[in-house]
Amino acid sequence: MYFVYFLGTAGSGKSTMTKVFGEWLEDHEMSACRVNLDPAVKQLPYFAEVDVRRYVDYNELLESGLGPNGAMVKSVDLILQHATTLRKEIEECLSNYVLVDTPGQIELFAYRKVTLELLRELSGGDKSAIVYLIDSTILSKEENQLDPYAFASLAVLGASLKIRFRLPQVNVINKVDLLSMEQRFQLDAWLEDMRSIAYSVGGEEGTLTIRLIEAIEDSGGIGEMLVSSAVTEEGLDSLYAALQRSFYGGEDYA
Ligand code: GDP
Ligand code: MG
């Protein structure tokens, strides 16, 4: 089994990607087990073979007097108590790929103390990778341009995830169907060579931005950077190929 953990800021398309990438795998004669780890989600666009909501009741925590954030934090922390059961359910899927959809807000999942242990318990020694989704709409600015600072800050968040999980990582600029031709052109140049972002930034903030991008590049990068769209299905084949490379690249969970 290969584990794919979809991470990204709220609304970046994690749940939608779990759906469309699962369908893509099934269309290509593979099987997918969809795992929902979001205790607070109301509606999912796919059927979750494994669903944390069967074990953790966000609404009950909310009614117990915790605020929405408190209840969310608590419910994510409680997932760990059910890790053995979730792992068993995942094994019962008998799938090649396990697609793990994570809670809406990235910090509630990626930066909780329990998360690394939870991942270890769920993956149980099977190969795992992070797919970090970047929302194209955040990159967009007026006059048909892209915002280099938005791009750099989201690349830095990708570096943070790489440091946090130390797993093979594929970075995906998602929802590219919403970008104009001009914006795509600009994005392609940045993806070709992230350092070229230096031409678009200046001043003091520019220095920090350039230094951080250089640090990412000089240290070997944060994994492949691709584009995708759940609407046009562009990039799903590239995502699959990048995942295959990362699973066979020899990196392992540290
Ligand atoms: P999550 O919070 O990361 O799970 O994000 P969702 O999967 O719920 O997606 C948030 C919104 O973005 C939904 O309205 C989706 O329909 C929409 N969305 C997701 N992927 C794409 C895409 O590739 N293109 C477009 N145009 N919209 C998308
Ligand atoms: Mg979601």
Of 215, 161, 179, 176, nearest to 8 by C-alpha is 161
Distance CA 195, CA 83 (A): 41
Task: Check the CA dihedral 154-159-161-164 and report its sign.
Answer: negative
Could you tell me if 86 and 52 are in contact, meaning their C-beta atoms sit under 8 angstroms apart? yes
Average pLDDT over residues 4-19: 98
Separation of alpha carbons 1 and 98, rounded Å:
7
Q: Which helix (H) or strand (E) covers residue 25, if one does? A: helix 14-27
Pocket of ligand 1 (CB under 6 A): 8, 10-16, 104, 174-175, 177-178, 229-231
Mean pLDDT of 6-19: 98
The alpha carbon of 207 and the centre of ligand 2 are apart by a number of angstroms equal to 35
pLDDT tens, 120-138? 999 999 999 999 999 999 9
CB distance 25 to 96 below 8 Å: yes
Average pLDDT, the chain: 94
Kindly report the number of other CB atoms within 10 A of residue 10's CB atom: 12
Is 0.80 surpassed by the pTM of this model?
Answer: yes
**Would strands 140-141 and 224-227 be described as parallel, antiparallel, or unpaired?**
unpaired
Q: pLDDT for 48-83, tens place per residue?
A: 999 999 999 999 999 999 999 999 999 999 999 999
Query: Quick one: tokens of 116?
Result: 């690394």
Contact 143, 183 (CB under 8 A): no
pLDDT score recorded for residue 252? 46
- In the three-class reduction of DSSP (H, G, I as helix; E, B as strand; rest coil), residue 248 is classed as helix
pLDDT over 70 at 254, yes or no:
no
Per-residue tokens: 54: 């069967």
Q: What is the pLDDT of residues 99-110, one digit of tens each?
A: 999 998 999 889
Q: Which ligand is nearest to the CA of 38?
A: 2
Closest residue CA from atom 9 of ligand 1: 13
Q: How far apart are the first and last CA of the chain?
A: 19
Report how far residue 210's alpha carbon sits from residue 182's, in angstroms, rounded to the nearest whole number: 23
In testing the pocket of ligand 1, which one of 7, 16, 35, 174 has its CB within 8 Å of the most ligand atoms?
16
Confidence of residue 152 (pLDDT cuts 50, 70, 90): very high
Burial of 94 by CB count in 10 Å (0-12 exposed, 13-18 middle, 19+ buried)?
exposed
Residue 250 in this model has a pLDDT that exceeds 90:
no
